Amino acid sequence: MGYMNYLNKKLIMTNILIKLFTIIALIFLFGCDKQNEKIKDGKSSQEEIAYSPDRDADIQRYNIEVRKKQTAQRFPCDTISLMEFVLSYFPQGSYLVSDDRTTTYEPPNPAILYYPEDRQLIFGVIARSKPGERLIEVKNIVGYDQSFIDLDSTELGTAFFYLVLFKCENGYFKIIWEAPIPSHGGFNYIAIQKWNYNGTKFIRTNFHYAQGVGNISYNYFLIDGLEKPPHLLMTYEGINFKRTIANINHDEFPDYYEHIYYDDGTKIIPGDSIAFVWNQKDSVYQNLLNKKHTRPY
């Protein structure tokens, strides 16, 4: 009789444990389902915004208003005004890009330059979304890791970069010119530099190039002055490639040297360099050793 009571108690305890385990398992599965639903809802919401220029514009306006409240001092044609101008007058899905040269504790600096000799002239880097695709996000096109977007940029939207010269007249912006930048991601910084040969100023827009462990610069030379479209020369440097600005034929246009490296998989050895000069008649850079070998910039 005592043995039967023992078995009954054991059976009851076993049933209780099974029920408790079942309840815990159901709670866990229900919680996971809820969490997955939240993730799905979040992704769905993000996707909706990515394909809704109007909702994206509302978010941009909200962020601009927040920035206004956090800015103690304003002036005509400041950064906030330029952001509003881009939002109002550029195609939907256009953004003022930010530099990658910031610390963890500072907000990113907008990629704009006030020309030192005339602060009414402002250079800015603008990114536009490709029509028909999802809208780009600035965080996906700025920085070292984001330079991989060139491999497959369609999933996150395709960005088209432009260097734009704005002029501030009576507190309002006017577009003087815009020049395409032939890259889709990995933006680093914008800077004003000077060509050592003749002092011509140029605007350097620098991009990370993670695939080659290096960087690429698109240099816009202000040969005919600030308000005329600039001349583009691309330079770059990485572990086994390099192109540098040069003065070869002593004209107003910059030339370049293409440096050759020998890479056998175990070591990289610098070799010779090939000179390219600007052929103004055909608007191409031409190899001095092989006239058929040309480059557009």
Say what the alpha-carbon torsion angle 242, 246, 248, 250 is, to the nearest 10 degrees.
160
pLDDT at 265: 79
* Residue 85 backbone dihedrals phi, psi, to 5 degrees: -65, -45
* Residue 121 backbone dihedrals phi, psi, to 5 degrees: -105, 125
Phi-psi domain of 213 (left: phi exceeds 0; alpha: psi -120 through 50; beta: other)? left
The radius of gyration computed from the CA coordinates of the chain, to the nearest angstrom, equals 29
pLDDT (tens, 9 = 90+) of the chain, 297 residues, equals 454 454 455 555 556 656 666 666 555 555 555 455 444 444 455 566 678 889 999 999 999 999 999 998 999 999 999 999 999 999 999 999 999 976 666 778 899 999 999 999 999 999 999 998 899 999 999 998 888 876 665 678 899 999 999 999 999 999 999 999 999 999 999 999 999 999 999 999 999 998 888 999 999 999 999 999 999 999 999 989 999 999 999 999 999 999 999 988 788 888 899 999 999 999 999 999 999 999 999
pLDDT at 38: 45
Among 177, 134, 175, smallest CA distance to 154 is for: 134
pLDDT at 8: 52
pLDDT at 22: 65
Q: Determine contact, residues 278/252, Cβ cutoff 8 Å.
A: no
pLDDT at 11: 54
